[in-house]
Amino acid sequence: MPRRNSSMIVEILLLGFGVGVLVGLLGIGGGVVLVPAMVYLLRMDQHMAQGTSLLILLPPVGLGALIAYWKRGQVDLPAGILCALGMLTGAYLGSLIAIPLASRNLKGLFGCFLMFVAILLWRMTRRENGAGLLVAGERAGD
């Protein structure tokens, strides 16, 4: 079925593009959007979607963005390196927990994780709103 295949390829390319726009807009990793998109739009199994998302996140897609933040002095390098080391070990541990889980349970846990992250993001925007004056002051100081 070559025709169905090629429309599938276009669909995947467009999906990547859409996720990329969000990544650039919000400055967060694409995985949190990619995984549900692959599960629902491409009908992938939960484990397969997560493994594929990790593959996509291997190249340093955030390099250009990092340079922009670096130029404005908005990078805490020692803290960033510590975080990289912590995430490397933590992520391995996480994969060991996830792989033996039933796909259905992993899907449910992923949903809970999304809700948790959403609440954190919301709290962050509220805090930011309160600190609006401070941030404006910092910008003026640049």
Partner 1 sequence: MIEGKARSAGIFATACVSGVAAGMFGVGGGVLLVPLLGLLFAFNQHRAQGTSLVALIPPTGLLAFVAYAKAGSVSWQIGSLLIPGIFVGGILGGVLAKRIRPLRMRQVFSGVLFALGAWQTIAAWWS
Q: Which of residues 83-102 bind partner 1 (CB under 8 A)?
A: 83-99
Two tokens, residue 102: 């039933």
Half-sphere exposure (Cβ direction) of 126: Cα atoms closer than 13 Å: 6
Q: How far is the CB of 72 from partner 1 (least distance, A)?
A: 7
* Helices assigned H by DSSP within 27-130: 31-41, 46-56, 63-71, 77-98, 103-130
User: In this structure, are residues 6 and 91 in contact, taking their beta carbons and an 8 Å threshold?
Assistant: no
Two tokens, residue 11: 């669909």
Q: How far is the CB of 130 from partner 1 (least distance, A)?
A: 11
Toward partner 1, which CB reaches closer, 2 or 111?
A: 111
Phi, psi of 75 (to 5 degrees): -130, 130
Rg of the chain over all Cα atoms, to the nearest angstrom:
18
- 137 lines the binding site for partner 1 (CB under 8 A): no
Toward partner 1, which CB reaches closer, 120 or 140?
A: 120
Q: How far is the CB of 110 from partner 1 (least distance, A)?
A: 5
Residue found by looking up tokens 């919301």 in the block: 122
- 118 lines the binding site for partner 1 (CB under 8 A): yes
Q: Which of residues 40-79 bind partner 1 (CB under 8 A)?
A: 42, 44-45, 47-66, 68-70, 72, 74-79
Q: How far is the CB of 87 from partner 1 (least distance, A)?
A: 4
Two tokens, residue 45: 């199994």
Q: How far is the CB of 8 from partner 1 (least distance, A)?
A: 9
Which of 1, 2, 3, 25: binder of partner 1 (CB under 8 A)?
Answer: 25
Toward partner 1, which CB reaches closer, 4 or 88?
A: 88
